[in-house]
Amino acid sequence: MRKIIISLLILVLFLGISFYLTNGFDPLALNEHKILKETRKAYENAQFQKEPFLKKKEIQSLTEFLLRHVDEFKHYNRHAEYRRIQLTEGNWTAPYRNNDACFEMPMFHPTFIKEYIPPSLVDSLLFYSDKLKNDLIVGFSVCSKNYNENIDSTKGSVSFVINCEGKYEFNANYYLRHGITQNLKFKENKTLHSIYDFGLTKDTLLLDKLRYTISITPYSGF
């Protein structure tokens, strides 16, 4: 009986290796059909949230404040090398640098604000963002007028990341992002042919030059 079991195990192993060699079987291969299907479904179901429309005046005021001081944000504590900022004990940011045409603030954490916001602007930033930060806006990026993705090259641009936590169920097959932009290039895309495509996008007017955007990008292994 023991010999029969061993023989069967050897046979199964042989068949498995043969299948792998002949069919290129990869247990870690992405299910592209499923990823594309679920990404398209998420795009169809994605709705613009009501909160940004209720706070559009406050968002506009914060936008104007950031654009007025874009150069001050950019040139404070600049560094080309990547750094990790300790927020609390055992809690660090992802590698971060401040050396581009845009200043990016990924979070309204007190430690991050202390490190990267000019002291003379801290109170004003907290004033304009008081009813928006964390609950609605997670972080922002403000770019100078020479940024190549600006629609109007004579003006700066701003983008905000909207908090979607609790609004949607997590799905590992795509990335969902809600945002608000002003003076940034954005192209609506309703078709998706490959998991390596840019993704599906839609936008709507929020107020004046502010656009509310939704982007859904398929997971491609990265």
Domain co-membership, 18 together with 108: no
Mean pLDDT, range 43-56, rounded to an integer: 94
Query: Are 144 and 102 in contact, with CB atoms under 8 Å apart?
Result: yes
Instruction: Identify whether the C-beta of residue 216 lies closer than 8 Å to the C-beta of residue 46.
Output: yes
pTM, entire model? 0.81
Helices (H), the chain: 2-23, 32-45, 51-54, 56-68, 70-75, 110-116, 119-129
Asked whether residue 7 falls in the same domain as residue 94, the answer is no
**pLDDT category, 178, cuts 50, 70, 90?**
very high
Amino acid 117: pLDDT: 95
- The DSSP 8-state label assigned to residue 79 in this structure reads E
Looking at the fold, whether 18 and 50 belong to one and the same domain comes out as no
Same domain for 191 and 165, yes or no, is yes
70 versus 11: the higher-pLDDT residue is 70
Q: Are residues 154 and 207 in the same domain?
A: yes
- From CA 46, how far away is CA 123, in angstroms rounded? 36
Give the least confident one: 37-46, 84-93, 211-220. 84-93
- Of the pLDDT bands very low, low, confident and very high (cuts 50, 70, 90), residue 9 is very low
What is the extent of the structural domain holding 202?
31-218
pLDDT of residue 10: 52
For residues 170 and 213, the model is more confident at 213
Q: What is the pLDDT of residue 3?
A: 46
Query: For residues 67 and 142, what is the distance between their CA atoms, to the nearest angstrom?
Result: 7
Residues 16 and 26 in one domain: yes
β partners of residue 218: 174
**Residues 174-188: what's their mean pLDDT?**
94
Residue 149, helix vs strand vs coil: coil
Q: Are residues 20 and 125 in the same domain?
A: no
Same-domain check for residues 183 and 76? yes
> What mean pLDDT is predicted for residues 54-83?
94
Residue 167 corresponds to which amino acid?
K
- Say how many domains are in the chain: 2
Question: What pLDDT score was predicted for residue 207?
Answer: 93
